[in-house]
Amino acid sequence: MKKLTVAIDGPAGAGKSSAARLAAGKVQYLYIDTGAMYRAITWAILQHHVNVQDEAAVGALIQHLSVRLEPLSDTCRVYVNDTEVTEEIRTQAISSHVSSVAALAVVRQKLVQLQRDMAKQGGVILDGRDIGTVVLPDADIKIFLTASVHSRAKRRYLELQAKGNTETLEEIENSIAQRDYQDSHRAVSPLKQAADAMLLDNSELNLEETADVITKLIRQKAQ
């Protein structure tokens, strides 16, 4: 079987990471969570108290940073230099700064290069916002995974409720809509569907069904 490169892009909360991770496990591909890499850089910026708006300072800081993903069977450990930040990059502080960091050209240049290097050998699924358009324009399979704002907010609401969080559905809907807007209107590599990507709306699909669509595409194409 051919070892393909698979690009999955789409807005926040469509379940890209979970579906990509599950699909990668089923076909024994490597899963590369590019959002985690932007989060890792954001963690370092906050850690060093660098102003996110100061691109030169951010550039100087990240010159000496290495971001590393260590895939495990059902998760992916994230390191900045030798510090593990797997948990830390999921906090609200990181989530609220990461869009601004991901809008900086200096950050994107570094991470896009790293992502291309990681994808070189094939047998990989990358998920993000610009994989099919910028990182791997020649990817074997391109999927734009999305769902309505309402259904994405509802999933997130249920997730947060299980953790005891009290944010309302409306608040979550607003924050998802705002993040969509920010990610798709930034100057550098905005979130947009590649012309040759398959649109997959999973508003009515669960995680397992979404991953099945992806693995079917991979198995068909790899023959």
The residues that touch ligand DC, with contacts defined as CB under 6 A, are 12, 34-35, 38-39, 98-99, 102, 128-131, 183
Residue among 1 and 113 whose Cβ is closer to ligand DC? 113
Q: Minimal distance in Å, beta carbon 164 to ligand DC?
A: 21
How far is Cα 153 from Cα 137, in angstroms, rounded to an integer? 30
Is 34:115 a contact under the CB 8 Å cutoff?
yes
Q: Collapse the DSSP code of 169 into the 3-class scheme (helix H, G, I; strand E, B; otherwise coil) and give the result.
A: helix
| Degrees to nearest 5, angle at CA 198 with 211 and 38 | 70
Closest CB to ligand DC among residues 104, 218: 104
Q: What is the closest distance, in whole angstroms, from the C-beta atom of residue 73 to ligand DC in the complex?
A: 20
Contact 31, 71 (CB under 8 A): yes
**Closest CB to ligand DC among 100 and 203?**
100
Minimum Å distance from CB 33 to ligand DC?
A: 7
- CB 81 within 8 Å of CB 66: yes
**Residue 11 CB, nearest distance to ligand DC (Å)?**
9
Two tokens at 216?
């079917």
Contacts 24+ apart (CB under 8 A), 70-74: 71/30, 71/31, 71/32, 73/25, 74/21, 74/25
Q: Residue 156 Cβ, how far from ligand DC at the closest point, in Å? A: 11
The nearest distance, CB 131 to ligand DC, in angstroms, is 6
Instruction: Name the CA dihedral angle for 112, 81, 48, 36, rounded to a multiple of 10 degrees.
Output: 50
If the CB atoms of residues 4 and 78 are measured against ligand DC, the closer one turns out to be 78
Measured from the CB atom, the residue of 60 and 105 that comes closer to ligand DC is: 105
Nearer to ligand DC by C-beta: 27 or 40?
A: 40
CA 144 to chain centre: 12
